[in-house]
Amino acid sequence: MERPALEALQLKRLRETVRRLERVPFYRGKLAAAKLTPDTINCAADLRRLPFTTASDLRENYPDGLLAVPREEVLRLHTSSGTTGKPKALFFSRRDVDNAAELIARAFCMTGVTRRDVFQNMMTYGLFTGGLVMHYGAEKVGCMVIPSGPGTSERQLMLMQDFGTTVVHITPSYAFYFADFLEKRGINPRKDLSLRKAFVGAEPYTEETRRKIEAALGIDVYNSYGLTEMNGPGVAFECEGKCGMHLWEDSYVLEIINPATGATLDDGQTGELVLTSVNREAMPLLRYRTRDLTSIIPEPCACGRTHRRIQRIAGRSDDMLIVRGVNIFPQQIERVLMAIPQVGRNYLIQLEGLDEMTIKVELSPATFDGQVGHLTQLQNEVVEKLRAELFVRPSVELVAPGSLPVAEGKAKRVIDKRSL
């Protein structure tokens, strides 16, 4: 779709969304104060006259304060994962379920997945969108879907072997864990399995991690981005170019803001992603602060798609650690560690006492040579490279491969026990 046509479609849907939200008390007053009606809104940038919608707005309006359709129109409920207190509830109408599947199907086709593929969804089913939403998308493509859920690695492997799985959906930490499991079982995924591709998401990860997973499993790894509040997975996906994720602009209006001031940032500048869902019926959200940090890639993609791309998520604005007065994102640490070949697959950031940062780093069994001197050298190298990146000197402890906890869902990489 050419850019002008895409923008016209986006505006048409934005107007429909505004019309729908005039019925929702939470938005009615805000739209009136900004003098926005379906007829006066002329471009996506007019949205900037509105205040942001935040995660706490969703919690305060729990369970159904933001519902934009009569209750009987709702087909499904999903909730957000991983937070304390009341979850964020998100409703889907029949059309929302179908549109969400359509966006996933688009992403599958974009990476060359066809109805001949066997798709094993290793994400948690249930309230988490990574299970069902992805499942419906794969069915739309016509893949044979194996709804394995996270389950045990033994069972995952059995399903892969018996049914010839070609594509999986998995978190980066479980991908590492599973690669390790295959190695221990003496299974060479290149020869013994039919795996070709993985959609890896639900946790932010780095380019180095992608390469390590690709090398360990002998597959193509595609990054995906989504959040429950915006349908779950399928908001943005990588094409075969693997260079940034196309964010479906017929369904979302994207903005990048300075998380501290709320000011809109230019394309190319890193800030917090703000999304407006323009193709949802049951619970559209205007200017929702995702807390995810990224930037818009202004250049057109070589693949020819006109939906603009966003960079790999650089972190979450609320994941930021402040250590000795310096802002640190866990992804910076991951990027440094994963670029060192002697470093294994897992790490843990511990904050203790008065701002002491210790990073536990698993040693890679593949490069271990039995020399004590090399361990000391490696430890010093990790400390120096982290210091150069973070401007804070951490302590580094080398730990045994597989000794750090691995989550089959979202990984917890930071333990903050500071007595500040």
Partner 1 sequence: MNTVKLVAVFAENRPGQVARITEVLARANINIRCIIVASTGNCGIMKVLVNNPDLACRSLKDAGFAATQTDVVAVEMPDKPGALHSVAQCLATYDINLCNTSGFAANDRAILVLEVEDPAQAGEVLKKHGLHVLTQEETLAI
Residues forming contacts to partner 1 in the complex (CB under 8 A) are 180, 184, 363-365, 368-373, 375-376, 379, 397-403
Q: Cβ of 281: how many Cβ atoms within 10 Å? A: 20
Query: Closest separation between CB of residue 395 and partner 1, Å?
Result: 9
**Start-to-end CA span in the chain (Å):** 54
Query: Closest separation between CB of residue 366 and partner 1, Å?
Result: 9
Nearer to partner 1, 103 or 157 (CB): 157
Nearer to partner 1, 158 or 366 (CB): 366
AA letter at 366: A
Among 221, 214, 181, 213, smallest CA distance to 197 is for 221
Read off the DSSP letter of residue 408: S
Burial class for 381, CB neighbours closer than 10 Å (0-12, 13-18, 19+): middle
Nearer to partner 1, 175 or 273 (CB): 175
Nearer to partner 1, 54 or 364 (CB): 364
Nearer to partner 1, 142 or 401 (CB): 401
Query: Closest separation between CB of residue 333 and partner 1, Å?
Result: 18
Burial class for 39, CB neighbours closer than 10 Å (0-12, 13-18, 19+): exposed
Nearer to partner 1, 144 or 375 (CB): 375
Nearer to partner 1, 281 or 362 (CB): 362
Query: Closest separation between CB of residue 397 and partner 1, Å?
Result: 4
Query: Closest separation between CB of residue 87 and partner 1, Å?
Result: 36
Rounded CA-CA distance 45/264 in Å is 10
AA letter at 306: T
391 Rama sector, left if φ>0, alpha if ψ -120 to 50, beta otherwise: left
Query: Closest separation between CB of residue 323 and partner 1, Å?
Result: 20
Query: Closest separation between CB of residue 273 and partner 1, Å?
Result: 38
Query: Closest separation between CB of residue 393 and partner 1, Å?
Result: 15
330-338 vs 372-390: helix crossing angle, rounded to 10:
140
Nearer to partner 1, 70 or 365 (CB): 365
Q: Which residues contact 147 (CB under 8 A, 6 or more apart)?
A: 121, 125, 131, 135
Query: Closest separation between CB of residue 385 and partner 1, Å?
Result: 18
Query: Closest separation between CB of residue 377 and partner 1, Å?
Result: 10
Nearer to partner 1, 313 or 382 (CB): 382
CA distances from 167 to 150, 151, 270, 299, 345 (A): 15, 17, 32, 30, 22
The pairing of strands 197-200 and 167-170 is parallel
CA distances from 282 to 93, 225, 228, 336 (A): 5, 21, 13, 42
Query: Closest separation between CB of residue 410 and partner 1, Å?
Result: 23
Residue 172 structure tokens: 């980066």
Among 209, 247, 210, smallest CA distance to 227 is for 247
Q: Cβ of 208: how many Cβ atoms within 10 Å? A: 16
Among 29, 401, 414, smallest CA distance to 180 is for 401
Nearer to partner 1, 298 or 365 (CB): 365
Nearer to partner 1, 189 or 284 (CB): 189
Among 207, 196, 305, 288, smallest CA distance to 249 is for 305
